[in-house]
Amino acid sequence: MTISEPAGTRVAIVFHSGFGHTANQAEAVARGARSMPGTHVDLLQVEEPHDALLATLDQADAIIFGTPTYMGAASAAFKQFSESTSKAWGDDLRWSGKVAAGFTNSQNINGNKENTLLELVVLAAQHGMHWVSLGLYGGWNTTTGSPEDLNRLGAFTGAMAQSHGDAGPDQAPPSSDLATAEHLGRRVAQTAAELKRGRAAAPPAAASPSAEPTADEQTAYVNATTDR
């Protein structure tokens, strides 16, 4: 039997950016995803028309969430978007089985960005999605390390970036953080493609038994268990 190659992988990057710094990070994620052959990327801002936005996310094989970290958490605009996805969640986990990942940017080196990434993990988990980690060893953590290292901020859950408060989006985030974001996009696209190929090659699942017993099965059970 010949197994046909599945259609190309679709990766959607949905993000909020208050000042343009997180938008730079999102574009770097998109570059990484596009570097994988056969990958189509949709770069979407949370402010886009709701129905069209959700329709694009419905078609994606992978969704990468991005938000700045404000006061130790995701931005209000991103939270509004995440709450709006309850329609997809309530529709029998419509996004279940999709690949997910996340990224965030803040002014401070720490800024409690891990809290934001964990918010994104929970969002993906509630939708039944498969979370993809950054997959990079921490950089800039030895005397021979450098701020130019990939993953200089030592994240593992997702991609982190840091932008100085007096640096505009033409200057920040720094190139190492953008390269880290590219790595995440490439890793997600590769993972989504591998999962899609695996599903195409897998044999059809056997029909699951009915959750409710038939009337005849109920009668047979009663007859077999009644004390006579």
d(CA 94, CA 96): 6
Residue 100's SS3 state is strand
CATH architecture of 9-225: 3-Layer(aba) Sandwich (3.40)
pLDDT tens track for 53-112: 999 999 999 999 999 999 999 999 999 999 999 999 999 999 999 999 999 999 999 999
| pLDDT value at residue 214 | 60
- Please return the burial class of 221, using the count of CB atoms within 10 Å of its CB with bins 0-12, 13-18 and 19+: exposed
Strand duo 73-74 + 9-15: pairing = unpaired
pLDDT tens track for 23-64: 999 999 999 999 999 999 999 999 999 999 999 999 999 999
d(CA 148, CA 146): 5
d(CA 216, CA 209): 15
DSSP of 116-156:
HHHHHHHHHHHTT-EE--------S-STT--TTSTTTT--S
| Contact in structure between 41 and 11 (CB atoms under 8 Å) | yes
